[in-house]
Amino acid sequence: MKTLTFGRASVVPALIALGLAACGSDPSDAADTDTDPMTTDMDMDMDMDMDMNMNMGDPDATPADDVAGAALARGEYSLMDTRPAGYDGVTGTAVIARSPLGTSITTELAGLLPNVDYISHAHAQACDDGNAGPHYQFEVGGPEFPPNEIHLAFTSDNDGNGFMTAENAKIAGTAAVSFVVHPMEFIDNKIACVDFVEDEPGSIDAAIGAGLDKSTMGDMDHEH
Ligand SMILES: [Cu+2]
């Protein structure tokens, strides 16, 4: 993971909003996004430790599969029609863990281009429903970056493999149904998507319910 420190921390949310807000938009916007110099600035990585709340991935974080007492859901990537050329061989998995500690998502991919920056997000619609729809948000209509959304950034290795875990202190609601990977520089070109399926039916509702019991945080169910 490359590291860059911005001169002012307050710049970061603005950059992320500019670079990532287009994710759920119409593919016809792609050209605008691709030529936006601010998007190119996303090549400069953030210091991921600058703010825990801005977590976009830590390769050394506990993988979702290993989070103690978590409700787990997972799936394998399916290719999306919006993928750029060169991504026909992408495979992999994503796993989401909901526990009293919050949410962790771990993804593992193969078949990517080597040494390329990617960004992934939890999405709010199934992969075949409107191309996975908008990003999942804890507070719908709120900020389009972490911690209100779950983003996961990583760089593929020399062999085109990727691996990363992102954490969030809140327990994702049931609307966090899918996970999409995009090239960092071509945010509208969704490459592949995972539909999360519970390991144990009902476990997610139980985890969310347990979290609500011990927390004042609302908006678990998309109601406001
Ligand atoms: Cu996305």
pLDDT tens sequence across 79-116 = 999 999 999 999 999 999 999 999 999 999 999 999 99
pTM: 0.76
On whether the CB atoms of residues 137 and 124 are closer than 8 A, the answer is yes
| The pLDDT of residue 53 is above 60 | yes
Range of the domain at 17: 11-213
Cα(182) to ligand 1 centroid in Å equals 7
Does 6 map to a domain? no
Per-residue pLDDT, 23: 53
Cα(122) to ligand 1 centroid in Å equals 7
Does 223 map to a domain? no
Cα(134) to ligand 1 centroid in Å equals 7
Cα(121) to ligand 1 centroid in Å equals 4
Does 2 map to a domain? no
Does 206 map to a domain? yes
Phi, psi dihedrals of residue 122, rounded to the nearest 5° = -70, 135
| The pLDDT of residue 180 is above 70 | yes
What's the CATH number where 202 sits? 2.60.40.200
Does 83 map to a domain? yes
Cα(23) to ligand 1 centroid in Å equals 5
Does 88 map to a domain? yes
Cα(213) to ligand 1 centroid in Å equals 30
Does 144 map to a domain? yes
Instruction: Please report the beta strands in the chain, taking only residues with DSSP state E, as ranges in sequence order.
Output: 71-76, 78-79, 91-99, 102-110, 117-123, 151-155, 162-168, 178-183, 192-195, 197-198
Does 219 map to a domain? no
| Terminal Cα-to-Cα distance of the chain (whole angstroms) | 36
Collapsed DSSP state (helix, strand, coil) of residue 28:
helix
In tens, the pLDDT along 185-208 reads 987 899 999 999 999 999 999 999
Q: For the chain, what is the domain count?
A: 1
